[in-house]
C-alpha cells in the first residue's frame, strides 16, 4: 500500500474520530441550560415601602382677606418669627375709623335719651303714687259726706263738692297711669335704640378690626402673596377671600407622602421611617408614621375617589403623614422628600434573591415527575396564570418555588415565603441554609423545566458592543 493511501486512510480515520467526539459532546450538552446561581443564606431582613412627598408643618394658617380695602403697610417679611396677636399688615382704615367715631357719638346721644326717658318714667311713677294717695283721701271724704248727708248734717252743696273731688281724684289717677305708661314706653324705646346703636358700633368696630391683620398662631411667616397698594376683597358664598400670607408652626414638622395602593395595607401608625430631604443630601432624618389615609386619591388629578363620579381604573395613592422626630431648624414647607417606611423587620432569617422565585403549574410538575417530554407551562412569580377553555382549574394551580441544584440538575422545590426586602425575600419552609439555587437568567428561569440538566456560569454577562481583549 502506497504512502498516499495510508495518509488518506489516516486522515479519514482522524476526521471520523473528531466527528464522533464532537457528536458525543453535542449530544451530551444539547439539553443543558446555562444558569446563574446563588445561595440561600441567613441574614437580617427589613421590609420597606418607599414614597415621595413634601415637608408640611403639622399646624399652619392661611391668612385670607376679611374686609375690603387697600394694603397700606406689611409689617412682617418672609422668615420672621411671630407670636399670636402680632400685627402682620394693615389696610386703609379712614372710613371705618370715622364710622366708629360717629357711632360712638350716636351712642352717647342715645344713652342720654335713655337716661332722660328713665328719669321721666320715675317722675311719672311718683306722680301716680301721689294721685292714688289723693284718690284715697277723696274717697274717704266722699264716703264720710254720704253718711253726713243722710243724717242731714251737711248741705247738698257740700255733698256735691266731696263727690266732685272724688271723681276728679279718680280721673287724675287715670291720667297719671296713662302718663306712666307713656313714659315707660319711651324708656323702653330709648333702651332699644341704645342697644341698636351699640350693635351697630360692634359691627363698625369689626369692620375696623378687619383692616388690621394679626397672627392667629405662633410660627414663621413662610409666604407673603401680596404687596403694599394691592386691594383686598373678602370671601363670598362660593369663593374665598384674597390669599394674603401663610403662618407655619414649625415646632412639629411632618412629611406628607403618597403611598401606592398595593403597599398601603402594610402600613400602620408608629412604624419607623427614614426621611431624605432633597435639599439636604446625604442626611437621613428619623420619624414615625402618625396618620394613614383611608381615602384613595387619583394619581392624575389628586382628587379623592369620592369627589369624582367617573369609573376609572387609573392608579391610586393614599396619603400618609410622617412626623419627624428631630427636624432641623432650617426646614421650610414644600421641600421634596423621600420616605422609607419600615413595615417589618426580622433577625437571622433564611433568605434568597427575589428573582429566584418562579411559579410552576401543578400539571407541569406532574409531567416532569413522569418524565414527560411535553412543554412545561411556566411563568415567573409575578405573572398570572390564565385558565383557557377546557383546562381544569386543578391542573392550572400555580405552585411557588425555586430551582435547587442537585447533581447538576435543577430540581423544583416548593417554598413558603415571608417578608420581602429590597432584593431578598424570606423563606419560611422548603430550603436549608446553604442550598444552591438558580437565580437567572430571566430567560433561563422562564423556560427551565424541573429536572433539567444545567451548567453554572456566574461570570458577569457581556454588555452589548463589548469585545474581549
Summarised one tens digit per residue, pLDDT across range 74-125 is: 999 998 999 999 999 999 999 999 999 999 999 999 899 889 989 988 998 9
pLDDT at 387 over 90: no
pLDDT at 27: 46
CA angle 273/275/278 to nearest 5° reads 165
pLDDT at 307: 67
pLDDT digits (tens, 9 = 90+) for 410-439: 899 999 999 988 899 999 999 999 999 999
pLDDT at 360: 85
pLDDT at 446: 85
pLDDT at 226: 93
pLDDT at 315: 80
Q: Tell me, what DSSP letter sits at residue 128?
A: H
* Domain positions in the chain: 32-43+351-385+393-456, 95-209, 254-346
pLDDT at 250 over 70: yes
Identify whether the C-beta of residue 194 lies closer than 8 Å to the C-beta of residue 107.
yes
pLDDT at 372 over 70: no
If you average pLDDT over residues 275-300, what whole number do you get?
91
pLDDT at 382: 38
pLDDT at 40: 92
pLDDT digits (tens, 9 = 90+) for 6-40: 666 667 676 766 666 555 544 444 568 888 999 99
pLDDT confidence tier of residue 469, bands split at 50, 70 and 90: very low
| Fold (CATH) for 32-43+351-385+393-456 | 2.40.420
Residue 163, by phi and psi: left (phi above 0), alpha (psi -120 to 50) or beta? alpha
- Separation of alpha carbons 56 and 78, rounded Å: 16
The highest-level CATH class for domain 254-346 is: mainly beta
C-alpha cell at 150: 243722710
C-alpha cell at 262: 398595593
pLDDT at 379 over 70: no
pLDDT at 341: 94
The count of C-alpha atoms lying within 13 angstroms of the C-alpha of 324, restricted to the half-sphere facing its C-beta, is: 26
pLDDT at 18: 60
pLDDT at 31: 65
Q: Tell me, what DSSP letter sits at residue 459?
A: S
pLDDT at 229: 93
The count of C-alpha atoms lying within 13 angstroms of the C-alpha of 100, restricted to the half-sphere facing its C-beta, is: 15
If you average pLDDT over residues 285-294, what whole number do you get?
94
Amino acid at each position: 500500500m502506497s504512502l498516499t493511501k495510508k495518509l488518506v486512510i489516516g486522515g479519514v480515520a482522524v476526521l471520523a474520530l473528531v466527528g464522533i467526539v464532537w457528536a458525543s459532546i453535542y449530544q451530551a450538552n444539547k439539553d443543558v441550560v446555562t444558569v446563574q446561581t446563588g445561595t440561600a443564606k441567613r441574614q437580617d431582613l427589613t421590609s420597606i415601602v418607599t414614597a415621595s412627598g413634601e415637608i408640611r408643618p403639622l399646624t399652619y394658617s392661611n391668612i385670607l382677606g376679611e374686609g375690603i380695602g387697600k394694603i397700606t403697610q406689611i409689617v412682617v417679611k418672609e422668615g420672621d418669627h411671630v407670636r399670636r396677636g402680632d400685627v402682620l399688615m394693615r389696610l386703609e382704615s379712614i372710613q371705618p375709623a370715622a364710622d366708629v367715631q360717629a357711632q360712638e357719638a350716636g351712642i352717647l346721644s342715645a344713652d342720654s335719651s335713655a337716661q332722660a326717658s328713665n328719669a321721666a318714667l320715675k317722675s311719672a311713677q311718683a306722680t301716680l303714687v301721689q294721685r292714688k294717695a289723693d284718690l284715697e283721701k277723696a274717697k274717704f271724704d266722699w264716703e264720710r259726706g254720704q253718711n253726713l248727708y243722710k243724717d242731714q248734717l251737711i248741705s247738698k252743696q257740700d255733698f256735691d263738692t266731696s263727690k266732685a273731688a272724688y271723681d276728679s281724684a279718680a280721673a287724675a289717677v287715670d291720667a297719671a297711669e296713662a302718663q306712666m305708661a307713656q313714659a315707660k314706653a319711651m324708656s323702653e324705646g330709648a333702651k332699644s335704640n341704645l342697644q341698636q346703636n351699640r350693635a351697630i358700633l360692634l359691627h363698625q368696630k369689626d369692620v375696623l378690626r378687619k383692616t388690621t391683620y394679626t397672627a392667629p398662631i405662633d410660627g414663621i411667616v413662610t409666604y407673603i402673596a401680596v404687596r403694599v397698594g394691592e386691594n383686598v376683597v373678602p370671601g363670598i358664598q362660593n369663593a374665598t377671600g384674597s390669599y394674603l400670607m401663610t403662618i407655619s408652626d414649625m415646632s412639629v414638622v411632618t412629611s406628607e407622602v403618597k403611598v401606592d395602593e398595593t403597599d398601603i395595607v402594610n402600613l400602620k401608625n408608629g412604624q419607623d421611617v427614614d426621611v431624605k430631604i432633597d435639599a439636604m443630601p446625604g442626611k437621613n432624618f428619623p420619624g414615625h408614621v402618625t396618620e394613614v389615609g383611608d381615602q384613595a386619591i387619583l394619581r392624575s388629578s389628586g382628587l379623592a375617589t369620592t369627589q369624582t363620579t367617573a369609573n376609572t381604573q387609573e392608579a391610586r395613592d393614599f396619603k400618609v403623614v410622617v412626623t419627624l422626630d428631630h427636624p432641623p431648624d432650617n426646614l421650610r414647607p414644600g421641600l421634596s422628600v423621600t420616605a422609607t417606611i419600615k413595615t417589618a423587620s426580622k433577625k437571622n432569617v433564611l433568605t434568597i434573591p427575589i428573582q429566584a422565585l418562579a411559579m410552576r403549574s401543578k400539571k407541569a410538575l406532574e409531567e416532569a415527575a413522569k418524565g414527560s417530554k411535553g412543554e412545561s407551562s411556566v411563568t415567573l412569580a409575578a405573572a398570572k396564570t390564565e385558565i383557557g377553555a377546557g383546562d381544569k382549574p386543578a391542573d392550572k394551580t400555580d405552585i411557588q418555588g425555586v430551582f435547587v441544584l442537585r447533581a447538576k440538575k435543577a430540581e423544583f422545590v416548593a417554598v413558603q415565603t415571608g417578608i420581602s426586602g429590597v432584593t431578598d425575600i424570606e423563606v419560611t419552609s422548603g430550603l436549608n441554609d446553604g442550598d444552591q439555587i438558580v437565580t437567572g437568567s430571566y430567560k433561563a428561569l422562564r423556560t427551565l423545566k424541573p429536572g433539567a440538566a444545567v451548567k453554572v456560569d456566574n461570570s458577569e454577562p457581556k454588555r452589548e458592543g463589548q469585545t474581549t481583549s
